[in-house]
Structure 1
Amino acid sequence: MTRDQAQSVHDDIAYMKALAQEGRRAPLLGGRVLISAGLIFGLASIVHYGIDSGMIAAPPVAYAVLWGAAMLVFFGVLIVQTRNCDRKPGAQSAANRAASAGWMGVGLAVFVISLSMFVVSWKMQSDVAFMIFPSLIFALYGSGWAVSATMSAQKWQWKLAVGCWIAAPLIAFLTGSPLMWLGYAAGLFLFALLPGVILVRQEPAEVI
């Protein structure tokens, strides 16, 4: 290999390294999706608490209507926000693509688990299966934040991941109490809504 060829290879490696570093520094663009998830499902959890506690008079079918409506609203908002996000500068960076894939996996897992719980509840004629739902969500959110933290190198997101994993078994102690749904709402606000706002505020003006 000649000196010019060696220099060319070196330049190519330096260029690819620069691209990787630049992509790593690109702002994460999923904040608005997290805000929507935290707000929509957090409010649904508060309404669920109201029904469970007797503050809101509603028939048992209201639970299915409540969460079904929340999912439909979120999916509608998700489609719009995903399209807008894909058009923003930095959307194709390695960090954003990996974080997006990680959170998409979380979302699909939540959807499939929800369907499975509906089937179990229908077969068993019991809502006991849904008592584990908040713990599962926090465990999955922790995985999403772990992927995001790794790819973006934003250490504060590791605190969210660990917080979610700690919250998962802790909220299980509220099983059987209407307070579980208030705790779930608080967790959604803390681990989705609030960090979503932080991510949006980190986006530079030209990206927003």
Structure 2
Amino acid sequence: MSMTRDDLAEDLAYVRTLAEEGRNAPLIGGRYLVLFGALLTIAYGMHWALIAGAFGPTHWTWILGNWSGFAICAGIGSLMVGRRVRALPGRAAVVNRVDGAVWRGAALAIVAVVVGSVAHDAINDRGVAQNAIMAVGFAVYGVALGATAVIAQQAWLRWFSWLSFVASAVLWTFLNEPWAYLVAAAASVAVLLAPGLVMMRGEPSRVV
């Protein structure tokens, strides 16, 4: 059966609509930002309390326990969030696939920095390199948030991207100050938790 010109026009309009819907699909990664924003706020705050002597003399195993707890909670939380996100419509949209790839790359970059910093301090019997992890981390968050802002056409995210870069610069400047961990805790709320909550408000509520 041959197609009329009107049929062809309707089909093309339908395909264009699907493409636009995919391009403009709502971001569904906000839950990850909320998860890591909350966990990092707690972990950075606890790290500061430990090195500041809030609980008395601190052994390095306490700090190890703090970040081990963070890693365990992050792993379990990511599995739970991933299950919820996979049930949302729009996960196959280009914007969400690119956003996911960007943040996975960011996570791997931070893991590489963590492993290298810990190994450096273990070999050289120093604890300085590990203090740089959070400064690098916020620079990476700035790149990821900026990329998300562009691909999702969400200009408001650029403000959080710039704020991440500012936080990174401050943390580099005061690299070995104990209170820098409080700055990192506050920055985690500002550049991860806050935009994550905004993104969650725009998520589709159920599979359609």
TM-score normalised per structure 2: 0.90
Q: How well do the aligned residues superpose, as a CA RMSD in angstroms?
A: 2.2
Question: What residue is the counterpart of 1:174 in the other structure?
Answer: 174
> Do the aligned partners of 1:102 and 1:147 also contact (CA within 8 Å) in 2?
yes
> Do the aligned partners of 2:171 and 2:180 also contact (CA within 8 Å) in 1?
yes
Instruction: Name the stretch that deviates more: 180-189 or 18-27.
Output: 18-27
Question: What residue is the counterpart of 1:23 in the other structure?
Answer: 22
Paired letter, 2:118: F
Question: What residue is the counterpart of 1:44 in the other structure?
Answer: 43
Question: What residue is the counterpart of 1:194 in the other structure?
Answer: 194
Paired letter, 1:53: A
Equivalents in 1 of 2:156, 2:8: separation in Å? Answer: 37
Question: What residue is the counterpart of 1:184 in the other structure?
Answer: 184
Equivalents in 2 of 1:102, 1:139: separation in Å? Answer: 14
Question: What residue is the counterpart of 2:53 in the other structure?
Answer: 54
SS at match of 1:122: helix
Equivalents in 1 of 2:12, 2:127: separation in Å? Answer: 57
Instruction: Name the stretch that deviates more: 66-75 or 12-21.
Output: 12-21
1:10 Cα offset (Å)? 6.8
User: Is residue 164 of structure 1 aligned with residue 164 of structure 2?
Assistant: yes
1:16 Cα offset (Å)? 4.2
SS at match of 2:55: coil
Paired letter, 1:24: R
1:35-114 correspondence to structure 2 within 5 Å? 35-57=34-56, 58-114=58-114
Equivalents in 1 of 2:86, 2:166: separation in Å? Answer: 33
SS at match of 1:92: coil
Equivalents in 2 of 1:125, 1:66: separation in Å? Answer: 20
1:204 Cα offset (Å)? 3.6
Unaligned runs of 5+ in 1: none
The sequence identity of aligned pairs, in percent, is 25
Unaligned runs of 5+ in 2: none
1:5 Cα offset (Å)? 9.7
1:13 Cα offset (Å)? 5.7
> Do the aligned partners of 2:88 and 2:205 also contact (CA within 8 Å) in 1?
no
> Do the aligned partners of 2:90 and 2:96 also contact (CA within 8 Å) in 1?
yes
1:113 Cα offset (Å)? 1.5
> Do the aligned partners of 1:20 and 1:94 also contact (CA within 8 Å) in 2?
no
1:152 Cα offset (Å)? 0.8
1:83 Cα offset (Å)? 2.2
Instruction: Name the stretch that deviates more: 5-14 or 85-94.
Output: 5-14
Equivalents in 2 of 1:9, 1:163: separation in Å? Answer: 48
1:109-120 correspondence to structure 2 within 5 Å? 109-120=109-120
> Do the aligned partners of 2:40 and 2:70 also contact (CA within 8 Å) in 1?
yes
1:144 Cα offset (Å)? 1.0
Structure 1 residues 21, 115: closer, same or farther in 2, change over 3 A?
same
Equivalents in 1 of 2:126, 2:154: separation in Å? Answer: 42
Equivalents in 1 of 2:150, 2:19: separation in Å? Answer: 14
Paired letter, 1:37: F
